[in-house]
Structure 1
Amino acid sequence: MSRNRERVIEIIENVFSENEKTSPEDLLFSYDDILYPAVLSSPETLEALKSFETRSTDVILAGYPKTGTNWLEQMVREMESTDAKYTEEEMKERINAEKELQMFPRLEFGDPGVFERMKKLPSRRIILTHLPPHLLPPSLLQGKAKILLLVRNPKDTAVSYYHFYNNMPVLPSFATWDEYFAAFMNGKLTWGSYFDHLMEWNRHIDHERMVIISYEELKENPVLGMKKIAAFFGFSLNEEEFSRIAKKTSFQAMKEKSKETHGVVGSWRDLFSEVQNEEMDQKFEECIGGTILATKIKYDLYCKT
């Protein structure tokens, strides 16, 4: 289990030990017409985020929820620490620094003071976010930090997010898949619309400090995917190290957490009705069809029956 995931579990346990009877209407808040989990963030935190200053050494991992960002984070952290050749003591110091400064697993999580505390973290900072570009701090897109955007086909993303929603106590659950599907298609979920998210990122497709990788290509060939990531961030690893990390972060290695972290490509076929299938095909084509991101996602390969 990654230390970021451990932090999420710790936060959730603390919140619910203090208030076990949180009502469904209090679980979420709206900021800029997008929903967020109230126990993990706040409007004040998202306002404070605007002043966050990135560094040229920052490693930014961006992606819509359930596109594989937890898995990607595990890979990148393994590559970064291997490249940096931290001693065991140095690694402990970095982990302890995150704990002492009360770091959170996503840029948009935590109290408003978290961004001031982040200044004390040593470089290279690995920073994850589910936010769309317009809610990210200006320094992120205007500065020199490198951004790795992770994308995943919408049908598998929707199914994975459905299971996540109904298993996460900080989010209101859905009684049926049909009810959830309508919310997904209308962007009435935390972090908003999948389609709006990709449409907005596509406007930054030519950003000189950004590269795109898909969940599916990482699944198909993890070593090749990691080599692409390493080249982008300037990590220097040998073949043996890439192979070791691929095995350490594989489906089998994650055991009971693997399905949640990795997911199965094509699992959408178990839940989508014929009408829902056609509805999403049309929506994807209207919103993203013909774009570079659409090509990257390989919709026809992964989302057609």
Structure 2
Amino acid sequence: MDGKTRSTLSQVQGVPLPERIVKYWARVEKFQASKEDVLIATYPKAGTTWTQEVVDQILNEGDLEKTKRAPTQVRMPFIEMTSADGENAGITKLEVMDPPRVIKTHLPIQLVPQSFWEAGCKVIYMARNPKDTVVSYYHFDRMNLYQPEPGPWQEYLEKFMTCQLGWGSWYDHVKGYWRERNNKAILYIFFEDMKEDPVREVTRIAEFLGLQLSKCTIDHIVKMTTFSAMRENPMANYSTVPDTIFDRTASEFMRKGEVGDWKNHFSAQEDAVFEDHYHKLMADCPIPIRFTI
């Protein structure tokens, strides 16, 4: 492994982001969204790829061949992400794509390019409980050699709680979109709800996107976007990303996709400290986050 690929974090408006994102920030900030574009926003490891696949299936009315036209990151570019050389930047792909585009971001709401709000774009935000999020993020940072070195679990958990990981504070992130959900065209969904009743949630997403799909089509989309189906789908499982970037001996990109896996990682003491911290930070914004289903 080339140790040089591991990124360091820099900041944009006080939010820690990988240095290579900060380097191209001006292009991201100036991006011109179109009213037909759809933005999928999440904190890292909150069900982003799942939401992307569901949205692409809905827009293609469950036509699997159309959704297998290219890998996820090509079909629905990651607006702020760049490669080391800048050539494969999400922004580069988006600048040459015609609307309507489905666009991915992990940016907190205050850093989303202004043109998305000016154009009145539809935004789908998925939130996931922070315990499962941090566990998933930890394993992702172990395997993604472009991410900062995660270090040991205990230190990583501390960094999450003190908002020092890439894309900053989980707490501010979920609260930012929650507070604006009635002022902007934002559909706010939960990972845990999608796990519990995918038919209901896929139907909600389709209706938000202005599509009335048959029950048969919805059922088909649910089946095609289960964790096991996506893990076997090379256009959705990030298997096209080379081993020089994803060290699959450390962890799989699609690892478990469960609710409650945090119980296998948090010690009783870590859980008690986290609970106390969580309730303090979320006291001003009671979002119905569930840690189990």
Q: TM-score, normalised by structure 1?
A: 0.78
Q: In the alignment, which residue of structure 2 is the partner of 1:130? A: 106
One-letter identity of the residue aligned with 2:228: Q
Q: In the alignment, which residue of structure 1 is the partner of 2:247? A: none
* Residue 298 of structure 1 pairs with residue 270 of structure 2: no
1:232-264 deviation line (CA, Å, top 9, x unaligned): 011231111111111111123234659826611
Please show how residues 138-177 of structure 1 align to structure 2 within 5 Å: 138-177=114-153
Q: Is the 8 A contact 1:198 1:288 kept in 2?
A: no
Q: In the alignment, which residue of structure 1 is the partner of 2:9? A: 29
The 10-residue stretch of structure 1 (152-161 or 116-125) with the greater mean CA deviation from structure 2: 116-125
1:129-155 deviation line (CA, Å, top 9, x unaligned): 000011111122333101111001111
One-letter identity of the residue aligned with 1:107: I
Q: In the alignment, which residue of structure 1 is the partner of 2:172? A: 196
Q: In the alignment, which residue of structure 2 is the partner of 1:108? A: 80
- Equivalent position SS for 1:291: coil
- Equivalent position SS for 1:244: helix
Of 30, 33, 37 in structure 2, the residue corresponding to residue 51 of structure 1 is: 30
C-alpha distance in 1 between matches for 2:3 and 2:139: 22
Of 194, 203, 206 in structure 1, the residue corresponding to residue 182 of structure 2 is: 206
* Residue 266 of structure 1 pairs with residue 260 of structure 2: yes
1:84-138 deviation line (CA, Å, top 9, x unaligned): x7996x995xx59x96xxx873111134986476344233210110000111111
Q: Is the 8 A contact 1:30 1:36 kept in 2?
A: yes
C-alpha distance in 1 between matches for 2:217 and 2:94: 30
1:9-44 deviation line (CA, Å, top 9, x unaligned): xxxxxxx8xxx34165xx123122333334xx4324
One-letter identity of the residue aligned with 1:61: I
Superposed displacement of residue 165, structure 1: 0.9
Quick one: structure 1 residues 167 and 144, their matched pair in 2 at CA, closer, same or farther if it must change by over 3 Å?
same
Of 54, 65, 71 in structure 2, the residue corresponding to residue 75 of structure 1 is: 54
Q: In the alignment, which residue of structure 2 is the partner of 1:8? A: none
Q: Is the 8 A contact 1:56 1:145 kept in 2?
A: yes
What is the aligned-residue RMSD (CA, Å)? 3.0
C-alpha distance in 2 between matches for 1:44 and 1:214: 32
One-letter identity of the residue aligned with 1:298: R
C-alpha distance in 2 between matches for 1:158 and 1:81: 32
One-letter identity of the residue aligned with 2:9: F
One-letter identity of the residue aligned with 2:44: P
Unaligned runs of 5+ in 1: 1-15
Q: In the alignment, which residue of structure 1 is the partner of 2:246? A: none
C-alpha distance in 2 between matches for 1:298 and 1:290: 17
Q: In the alignment, which residue of structure 2 is the partner of 1:3? A: none
Q: Is the 8 A contact 1:28 1:35 kept in 2?
A: no
Superposed displacement of residue 168, structure 1: 1.1
Q: TM-score, normalised by structure 2?
A: 0.80
* Residue 277 of structure 1 pairs with residue 253 of structure 2: no
C-alpha distance in 2 between matches for 1:125 and 1:228: 20
Q: In the alignment, which residue of structure 2 is the partner of 1:5? A: none
Superposed displacement of residue 290, structure 1: 5.7
One-letter identity of the residue aligned with 1:135: L
Quick one: structure 1 residues 262 and 207, their matched pair in 2 at CA, closer, same or farther if it must change by over 3 Å?
farther
Q: How many residues end up aligned between the 2 structures?
A: 269
Q: In the alignment, which residue of structure 1 is the partner of 2:226? A: 250
